[in-house]
Structure 1
């Protein structure tokens, strides 16, 4: 279930990043340009978080041994 959520988050982040790069007009000016850049950086953080959901640092077996 956790991996499916991770894949969904990665795909959503990629879709938003592709839309930001290829979709809207590139004549954003002033504060909108900085907001555009910040939103694109946030997409990269979302993609990274989704990858961590798919491939966690510790395997589930190691976590079960630590708890129990």
Structure 2
């Protein structure tokens, strides 16, 4: 998490100072990353209990004889 924060800080600096983008344009450039991270987190928290229960059920089944 610390690495992601540092990377976003330096990338913001690069976008504004080197590429001469406005603060608004720089901030909007991070919007797809933020939305994707939020969506993946929400999806993961909903799918994880289902996947874990399926894995546990498949491990408890007896092998075919």
Question: More helix by proportion, 1 or 2?
Answer: 2
Q: Please tell me whether Structure 1 or Structure 2 has the larger radius of gyration of its CA atoms.
A: 2
TM-score by length of 2: 0.44
Q: Which has the higher contact order (CA 8 A, sep 6+)?
A: 1
